[in-house]
């Protein structure tokens, strides 16, 4: 992962942090939904 790439374009580091948080939340949401669906099916 190239974390220094966005700063060269001129984006503040806060944008990277927000993007990472939103991405992590989405992954957790997807994993939680998949686990819940599998648990309901059994």
Higher pLDDT pick, 21 / 5: 21
> HEC string of 1-30?
CCCCHHHHHCCCHHHHHHHHHHHHHHHHHH
- The pair of structure tokens assigned to 36 is 């819940």
- In this predicted model, what pLDDT tens digit does every residue of 18-34 receive, in sequence order? 999 999 999 999 999 99
Q: Which pLDDT does position 12 carry in this prediction? A: 78
């Amino acid at each position: 992962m190239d974390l220094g790439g966005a700063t060269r374009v001129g984006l503040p580091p806060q944008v990277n942090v927000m993007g990472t948080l939103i991405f992590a939340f989405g992954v957790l949401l997807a994993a939680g939904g998949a686990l819940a669906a599998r648990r309901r099916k059994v």
